A = this chain, B = another copy of it.
Amino acid sequence: MAKQALVMGIDVGGQTTKLGVVDARGNILYQSVISSLQRELSSYVEDITTAIKDLISQSENDGVIKGIGIGAPNGNYYKGTIEFAPNLKWAYDENGKPMVIFLANMIRDIIGIPVAITNDANAAAVGEMTYGIAKGMKDFIMITLGTGVGSGIVIDGKIVYGHDGFAGELGHTIIVRNGRQCNCGHKGCLETYTSATGVARTAREFLAERDEPSLLRELDPEKITSKDIYDAAKKGDKLALEIFEFTGKIMGEAFADFVAFSAPEAIILFGGLARSKEFLTEPILKSMNDNLLQMWKGKIRLLYSTLKDSDAAILGASALAWEL
């Protein structure tokens, strides 16, 4: 009997890189994790290729891995590169200059299997379209709410890569002119308000500006997480609820502008902060509908990823590999 075809999906995160062997039905058969914190590119490439080889050995009896898909910060689908990835030390030379890393070709040359790469948010969107709530959808926008805010834009059933392969940086559209300082160097990017760190920043601002009581005052302001705010909101904490209202309002304003661009069927939220949907949905929808043109009011769906966070990234990256 011929062995079944398998693919490998790899999610390159700021802290860890997750690898998984995936079958045609979207089951993750084997998984492993390595650190992403290496200083040198050569160390990272050695670690990741070792992990890939181990997974290939493990899955030898189950099937043949025909391709590897990688989701990575600023992964470029056209060139198979990682470029300008501020969270990855090994993506910068000793003078702190960003390097263009031909990761897809490097891995292909060592492992001998075709490799495709895209950014993590695009990978999540492909995963959602292949296995998740976006199955059958041709026009949607995936917003990933993590340490940063990423986006995967699907138009007419295809990921939008743009002229240079870098399209879909919606976390860096400017939602508050001259607003909060962003890591990218600009001020007021969506990411500074609606990422997990952005929401924690909102909490610190609200706590400093107001004097009403709040469960959040019991915490070290510098260590407040979006999970803490969720927990407080669950207990009815008024300030925590207002933080989600503020966050949802900003998201809705941004999403209305995105709808004016590509008129998607749905906006799909993914990532840690999306778990606070019970507090975010209403303010997002109100704000989005307040800001949409008449013809779109009440018509754009707000959905949440149905895939587990870690699975979605691996599955999405792996889905790229089926096309190799």
Contacts and interface: CB of A to CB of B under 8 A. Distances in A.
Interface of A: 74, 83-84, 138-139, 153, 155-156, 158, 160-170, 172-174, 176-177, 184-186, 253, 256-258, 260-265, 291, 293-296, 299
Given A170-B260, A176-B177, A260-B169, A84 B294 contact: yes
Given A84-B294, A174-B253, A163 B261 contact: no
A33 B263 CA distance: 32
A295 B166 contact: yes
A156 B157 CA distance: 12
Contacts of A253: 174, 177
A174 B257 contact: yes
A264 B162 contact: yes
Contact of A265 (B139, B163, B261): B163
Contact of A295 (B83, B262, B265): B83
- Tell me which of A83, A155, A174, A253 has the highest count of chain B C-beta atoms within 10 A of its own C-beta: A155
Given A84-B293, A174-B291, 9 more contacts: A84-B294, A153-B261, A156-B160, A166-B296, A169-B263, A170-B260, A184-B293, A186-B293, A257-B257
A263 to B, nearest CB: 3
- List the 3 closest A-B pairs by CB distance, nearest first: A162-B263, A167-B263, A163-B265
Contacts of A263: 160-169
